[in-house]
């Protein structure tokens, strides 16, 4: 853990269907969201899917007093949130259901700002349960980990089959050019992953290298190709995009 708390933006991806397992059937009349922790809320235009850890344990938690809005994240995250104005009662967690990542795989979601009308919950093996919400939204244009995990699913039929993921949930979803980085190009993560010959989502050392380059250059050199701030530098418009998401009720801040 760092010395200073890290500020995340939690993005609300709306669940459009209930899990087949029935674990959330009692919440059928609620608006249910997977919440994804991100440091790059300004990249949400490029979402192609949402990552969950197939074996991770999650809960469904009430965000407001009448439980009309429900969020899915780890217990640990919900406990932290309860001390951060994201709970009806300070320090109190209202858990409505327990589930695992497997219950969520293949479910359609509405992702704020995404160009794809619906995206799917897909498996990522490298999600850390002790960080953020335990759910990660996928922006393969600008996040090497996301690009490589999506490539793994696209290339490996057996991997899709193992998790009940159909071709339609994966194959049509191409990285979206949302940011131009003059010294790399406008699909920085795919370009760097190919340049470094990254083989899979488990290629940790090279992925960290790619991530470092894309992250730094994206922030200092990047220019938006899409959205309300097209033509602006990432550095200049980042906070405005995050603040608009929050003002629209599509995201909120979280610290840990």
71 closest CA partner among 30, 25, 42, 127: 30
Tell me the closest approach of the beta carbon of residue 4 to ligand A2H, in angstroms.
12
CB within 8 A of 104, min separation 6: which ones? 19, 34, 52, 58, 72, 121
* Residue 256, both tokens: 């840990």
Q: Which stretch binds ligand A2H (CB under 6 A): 141-149, 160-168, 197-205, 236-244?
A: 141-149
Q: Please pick, from the candidates 76, 211, 233, 253, the single residue that binds ligand A2H as defined by CB under 6 A.
A: 211
Q: Any contact of residue 72 with ligand A2H (CB under 6 A)? A: no
Q: Please pick, from the candidates 49, 137, 186, 201, the single residue that binds ligand A2H as defined by CB under 6 A.
A: 137
What is the radius of gyration, based on Cα positions, of the chain? Answer: 18
193 closest CA partner among 176, 214, 170: 214
**Which 149-188 positions form the footprint of ligand A2H (CB under 6 A)?**
none
Q: Any contact of residue 9 with ligand A2H (CB under 6 A)? A: no
CB-based contact 63:87 (threshold 8 Å): yes
Looking at the Cβ atoms of 125 and 244, the one nearer to ligand A2H is 125
* Residue 243, both tokens: 């603040």
- Contacting positions for ligand A2H (CB under 6 A): 6, 37-40, 43, 127-128, 131-132, 134, 136-139, 142-143, 146, 211, 215
């Amino acid at each position: 853990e760092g010395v200073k708390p890290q500020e995340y933006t939690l993005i609300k991806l709306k669940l459009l269907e209930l899990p087949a397992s029935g674990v959330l059937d009692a919440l059928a009349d609620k608006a249910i969201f997977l919440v994804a922790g991100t440091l790059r809320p300004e990249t949400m235009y490029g979402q192609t899917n949402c990552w969950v850890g197939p074996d991770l344990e999650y809960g469904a938690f009430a965000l407001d007093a009448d439980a009309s809005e429900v969020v899915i994240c780890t217990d640990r995250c919900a406990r932290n949130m309860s001390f951060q104005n994201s709970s009806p009662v300070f320090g109190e967690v209202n858990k409505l259901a327990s589930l695992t990542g497997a219950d969520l795989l293949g479910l359609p979601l509405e992702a704020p700002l995404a160009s794809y009308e619906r995206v799917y919950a897909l498996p990522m093996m490298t999600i850390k349960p002790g960080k953020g919400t335990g759910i990660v939204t996928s922006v393969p244009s600008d996040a090497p980990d996301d690009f490589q995990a999506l490539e793994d699913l696209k290339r490996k039929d057996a991997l899709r089959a193992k998790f009940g993921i159909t071709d339609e949930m994966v194959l049509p979803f191409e990285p979206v050019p949302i940011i131009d980085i003059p010294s790399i190009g406008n699909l920085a993560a795919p370009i760097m992953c190919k340049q470094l010959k990254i083989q899979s989502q488990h290629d940790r050392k090279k992925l960290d290298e790619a991530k470092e380059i894309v992250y730094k250059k994206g922030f200092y050199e990047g220019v938006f190709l899409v959205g309300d701030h097209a033509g602006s530098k990432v550095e200049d418009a980042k906070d405005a995009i995050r603040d608009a998401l929050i003002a629209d009720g599509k995201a909120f801040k979280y610290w840990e």
